[in-house]
Amino acid sequence: MSERPVPSSIDPAEVAKFQAMARDWWDPQGKFKPLHMLNPTRLDYVTAQIAAQFGRDLAAPTPFQGLRLLDIGCGGGLMAEPMARLSATVTGADAAEGNIAVARLHASEQDLAIDYRATTAEALAAEGHRFDVVMALEIVEHVADPAQFIATCRDLLAPGGMLIQSTLNRTAKSFAAAIVGAEWVMRWLPKGTHDWRRFITPDELAAMTQATGLRVVDRCGMVFNPLGWSWSLSHRDLSVNYAMTALRDA
């Protein structure tokens, strides 16, 4: 009797987009320049949320020692690597094998032990993996079924675990910034990287997240200042990029 196939929220067309750009992950002036610019702000948000939930001191030498962390849709490892440096036990997963090849090579060059896997959230859940923290950053707008994907992320959490998501709001401002600005004018990203119709409002994301039984505890915007050419966190402005934290109660 054959095993039933594991369902997948992967959208092959979306995976193909990022597979084609895989070699550029660690070029700060290349096709992932917007993520390189955003990354320090994402890292500030993620580390603060984890430290607060698990009672960790970010000034300690190994603040995340003992925490199991999954970066789903990890790309080339822009967030996985700093989390490993903070001593978390990191698994990075991505459906695009080209991304994983780049991530493994770069981590090896940095002497970082990260368990990179060319796989899906659904496959990891089916194998019984559980994590203290799941990061799903800039991925939910690219999956075939966001609600099902979030439910799978919930299944990947151990009791008391934390899901941190970040994505793009569906507003006129986000269309202007993420598509017209980043793709058409600045040409930081290839045209067609994002589909505005797939962007998700904070209320929609919160509803999908809470429908899985997770408890949303924080929403925060990530705001780009074109004058200072810098990013900052804002709990008032979630009009373009934003992050959301939810907990799986014990």
Binding residues for S-adenosyl-L-methionine: 42, 73, 94, 137
Q: Strands (DSSP E) along 40-175, which ranges?
A: 68-72, 89-93, 115-117, 131-137, 157-168
Angle, helices 97-109 vs 12-20, to 10°: value is 40
Measured distance CA(178)–CA(38) in Å, rounded = 13
DSSP annotation string for 51-83: HHHHT--TTSSSTTTT-EEEEET-TTTTTHHHH
φ/ψ of 60, rounded to 5, equals -70, 160
Distance of CA 143 to the CA centre of its chain: 12
The one-letter amino acid code at 220 reads C
The one-letter amino acid code at 40 reads P
Please report, in range form, the residues annotated as the binding site. 42, 73, 94, 137
- Long-range contacts from 38-41, C-beta under 8 angstroms, 24+ separation: 38/222, 38/224, 38/231, 38/241, 39/78, 39/79, 40/231, 41/222, 41/231, 41/232, 41/233
Measured distance CA(158)–CA(196) in Å, rounded = 33
